[in-house]
Amino acid sequence: MRRAAMLCVAFLLVCGCSSGAGETTAAPPVVQVWPPFDAKHARPDHGLVIKAHGGTLSQVLVYQSGEPVSGRLDGSRTTWRTNWTLKPATEYTVTATATRKGAPATVAMGRVRTRMPEKTFQVASTAPLPGETVGTGMPIIIDFDAPVQDKAAVERALEVTAQQPVEGAWRWTGDTQVIYRTRRFWGPRQRVTVTAHLAGVRGGDGLYGAADSTFTFTVGRDQTTTINAGTHQMTVDRDGEIVQRMPISAGMATTEEYTTTSGVHLTMDKGNPVRMISPGREKGDPGFYDLMIDHAVRISNSGEYVHAKDNVWAQGRENVSHGCVNARPDQAAWFYASSLRGDPVTITGTQRPLAWDNGWGFWQLPWEKWRRGSALPETDATDDGVPKG
């Protein structure tokens, strides 16, 4: 292994007389850089670690393509490490200064280059979309373009920053998708930034993150909806005040399919109109339908919408739908116009519970169960030692 090159700078006053009897100069501190200077194939997932032996680090400057690289000093000011992994196939320049009382300062300068990965992965899609304004129940969903094996490493690279700090956790639903849910609903009217520090993260055997990815979304007003299928009533609350009451008709409940699910739903998307076709039935079969439905707001993956229907004879009195919640056309149009993705819609009064993985039914899981889907232990200890490649 090649040792890091050191430049010792001595700040000594030179004069005609020698130093006094018994006076000694302390040995200069030693700076250790890992990966070592002149490395050509450093592992990007190990980051960069700089240590001072026999002194403390007074300054560390790391650059990549002229841009500063963020890092942090430990409490003893003897170890500095990058905050995140390094970019693959990239050169980094390092200048680190260590000092010790009564000794010359030591300045270490050099370059490190990371290896080219065999395979890469990156963020393929996100919800919310960048710049989107969403409801207070909105999850953060990240899909990757390749299966992730080392989920803990990837999860550590995901950062959520909200203007109003909130407790949240990631849960993996497969090898290519991870979902973030807050413990309680987001506070309204705030900006949230999501950064996937994926560049250099080892996602599996020979698989490394290709690039970092950042997007920002806004949590809008606080709108929640409650629907009671037993009383056939729907109430919309905005910022603590009731803004709309609607008589509705829910699923007729003659089969499980035709039973509206009870639980905390989230609005997922909407269309005007939406084509609705009876599942598992062909034209001519009993119960077959193929309809264009106006002002439809989707709340699950099992075909449930809040939508318009001109059957005011049933709304407020009887459940006659195929599982959706229908309202008077003018009121359904109002709900359609006022809905954001991620608005909570809580339904009660039926015998069919909403499954947590039906659409965005994530609020159906108690917090502790949700957290068990994380790849990280409750205490994610950090190794302060120098990583070995």
What pLDDT digit, counting tens, does each position of 199-217 carry?
A: 999 999 999 999 999 999 9
Is 307 an active-site residue? Answer: yes
Torsion, Cα 75 76 81 84, to 10 degrees, reads -10
Is 8 an active-site residue? Answer: no
Q: 3-7, 8-12, 301-305, 328-332: which range is least confident on average?
A: 8-12
Choosing from 46, 197, 232, 307, which is the catalytic residue? Answer: 307
Q: Which residues pair with 53 in a beta bridge?
A: 30
- The average pLDDT across 33-43 equals 96
The Cα 223–Cα 233 span in angstroms is 17
**Which domains, ranges and CATH numbers included, belong to the chain?**
6-18+27-113 (2.60.40.3780), 119-220 (2.60.40.3710), 223-369 (2.40.440.10)
In this model, does residue 28 exceed pLDDT 50? Answer: yes
> pLDDT for 160-174, tens place per residue?
999 999 999 999 999
Share of the chain above pLDDT 90, in %: 86
Share of the chain above pLDDT 70, in %: 91
- Which residues have a Cβ under 8 Å from the Cβ of 30 and sit 6 or more positions away? 6, 52, 53, 54, 55, 98, 106
- Across the chain, mean pLDDT equals 91
- The average pLDDT across 363-370 equals 98
Choosing from 46, 232, 322, 324, which is the catalytic residue? Answer: 324
How high is the pLDDT of residue 113?
A: 97
Query: What is the DSSP pairing of strand 140-144 with strand 6-9?
Result: unpaired
The Cα 270–Cα 305 span in angstroms is 9
